[in-house]
A and B are shown apart, each in its own frame.
Chain A
């Protein structure tokens, strides 16, 4: 199929396929690389941000735990010496040192006050609070509550997070007891910590406890109830993935916060990155299309420039091939094409000169043939006539001799007609009459003849000596000396631009078979019989071409007619 493409299609196809493949590969690589690297970057930077958030919280929690550990150690060592006032001083200092700490209280196993940093009255049902029971249930760990109204004191309206832990102390009787250390932190610092990180527009943080309660969220929707973010964070458990929250792309990271059994989920807005990715994609697709289009235009131009002259050349060739029109061509374009057109033109010139030569040669050839044929006519007639004149002279038929010699002289004058081949119709008819007159005398006036001619034909000219050979045949074949009384009729008419001379002789007539044989001999030659007819036919054909013709017709025992049809021409 490819073989059927022409040059311009081939060039176009080659250029376009290469360009398309290159551009496509380039674009795909570009987009893929950009996508993966930008996605990797998003993933990486989001994880880093989440890590940072977690570390901030971990630092915060570590500080609290350090304080708690310090207090635990102090509690054990100071209660050994029953130095409660010093211990209270320590609690007070510890809580004063950190602005986050609201209160530090040590409660007995029954929920009664042991050491209190604030001096506020402890609520009577402290032992029933969840932070209290949890501390005793899992003594080895710190229990972090969710934000709640401070409930360790009888009266308080502060929002706090309670950290509780079972610790050991010595009571007034120096007996080792288990108590519950309760550190209340204000939630403000936790919130400010959460808000410290830039998570992009609508980016937010969820802090969820192991029981599924919110510790904190800066997404209002989430603090009111279950929100999309919460579901996503719960489904993921921990780790990172791209999610969609309210039609915006976010990168969600969930990690656990050491010591607390809390999970922190960060939602970082990455819509902008996706938008830029989309923009990038459209840009590169646009670039792809523009590049494709412009290379298409260039390719078309280039292929046209190369193929157009060749097209012209091939059209010219076609003309040459089919209609034989020899035209020179003027091509502009590449050097090769110009050279080619020059060669083509040279070839055309060469062909032309060859053809001219051929035509002249043909003409010459025809001329010589023509003359040769013309020359064949006369000699034996001249001998016969001269013989007849001699015979008439012997019989002393002087009048006949005179008539014959005059006719012969006229005959030859016209025959020669100053070397012209074409003579007026009148002269040709005159020539035929002279001939008939001579023959009539020679045949002892055994036949008669008649000319019936239109005046119209006198204005035209014809090839000379075409009637005489036909008449000669008519006399030879049509006039029988025994029967006597033969008749020859010559009819000259003008029909539809053709002059026709019909020579009719009375006699036996010809069979169709004989007529066909005559046609055959006339056209193709053969045995020397009726050399005259063939001679006339050939000269007519050489001079007039296909238009001229000879028609033979006959009626048995009636007549034979030879009709010459010649295009009517006035030229000399």
Chain B
């Protein structure tokens, strides 16, 4: 009997000490779709930077809110210390907020911004992301630079020399918050800067390269030489447009060196957003004029810093980021051209 008690006590003591040693916190990371290259980079960056800080478990919702709901439901049963959610449907985020509110687990939303009212309803709900409008503004600033910083007298990129920019816009998704804001702000900023723009066509290609490629082919047939500028809501669509332009020789590598010489070879400026890997390659080779880097790396750093402060229950102190209203961290886009 004595022996049994001693063994029992030892087991309890050992399990107690081991559980004490297990102070590494667990964070569940829910990504809306790991097939999205941007989110893949983002998630990998979080995984990389989390090392040594806390343990991260990754869940891929495969672009289904139902799957994500299931994953969160099951995940919450294990009582993680924090969850980071990249919602599939940002409007549905209020249910996630309500769900975690019950268990008191903090939640950081990333990349897709829930409605402000939903975020306010829970004191441990945060958002880390970029200001969508900023990418549009940055695009406009690059365009301003491209056309010579003088709206009243455009440079040689105003092909027909009418002081009006003839442009085609590739929109991500009708009614999509980012798409709408990017489309709106690039135009309004240019107008505010004093430019006159002529939107030849707005094409909605659902963020998708293949869609953009097919639509661009038609557009090039319709408008062809008139097009002085292509504005795309993201890099994937920009790459689709470039593919179409290369096929129809609007962009042509005459000397076959794999690069486009802007002053000697056929070329049309295309501007994207996101700064994905392939886009940066095309940028390097001169096919893509510019992109606005949605800095997943910087956002991942912000997420890690915020997570650490939440997990350790300390104030958020960072030289790089500000915690706005105790809820938001806005990470700046980067111009790449």
Contacts and interface: CB of A to CB of B under 8 A. Distances in A.
B232 to A, nearest CB: 17
B89 A258 contact: yes
Contact of B70 (A138, A141, A142, A239): A239
Given A138-B115, A263-B95, A72 B175 contact: yes
Contacts of B91: 141, 256, 258-261
B175 A68 contact: yes
Contact of B99 (A65, A73, A237, A258): A237
Contact of B102 (A73, A237, A260): A237
A261 B89 CA distance: 9
B69 A256 contact: yes
A238 B69 contact: yes
Interface string A236-273: 01111000000000000001111111010000000000
A250 to B, nearest CB: 17
A50 B69 CA distance: 12
Interface residues of A, number: 27
Contacts of A261: 91-92, 94
A165 interface: yes
Contact of B95 (A54, A140, A237): A237
Contacts of A72: 174-175
A521 interface: no
Contacts of A257: 92
Contacts, number: 66
Nearest to A234: B98
Interface string B108-147: 0000000100000000000000000000000000000000
B73 A240 contact: yes
A72 B65 CA distance: 26
Interface in B194-222: 202, 204
B304 to A, nearest CB: 28
A65 B202 CA distance: 18
A257 B65 CA distance: 8
Chain A, interface SS category:
mixed
B89 A256 contact: yes
A51 B66 contact: yes
B175 A165 contact: yes
A47 interface: yes
A288 to B, nearest CB: 33
Given A51-B66, A140-B180, A238 B95 contact: yes
B176 to A, nearest CB: 9
B81 to A, nearest CB: 20
Contacts of B202: 73
B302 interface: no
Nearest to A241: B73
A140 B65 contact: no
Interface in A135-159: 138, 140-142
B322 interface: no
21 contacts: A54-B66, A65-B174, A65-B175, A69-B204, A72-B174, A141-B91, A238-B69, A238-B96, A239-B69, A239-B70, A240-B73, A255-B66, A256-B89, A256-B95, A258-B65, A258-B91, A258-B92, A259-B91, A261-B91, A261-B92, A261-B94
Given A68-B175, A141-B177, A238-B69, 10 more contacts: A51-B66, A69-B204, A141-B91, A238-B72, A238-B95, A238-B96, A239-B69, A239-B73, A255-B66, A256-B92
Interface of B: 65-66, 69-70, 72-73, 88-89, 91-92, 94-96, 98-99, 102, 115, 174-175, 177, 180-181, 202, 204
The list of the 4 closest CB pairs from A to B, nearest first, reads A256-B92, A69-B174, A239-B73, A258-B89
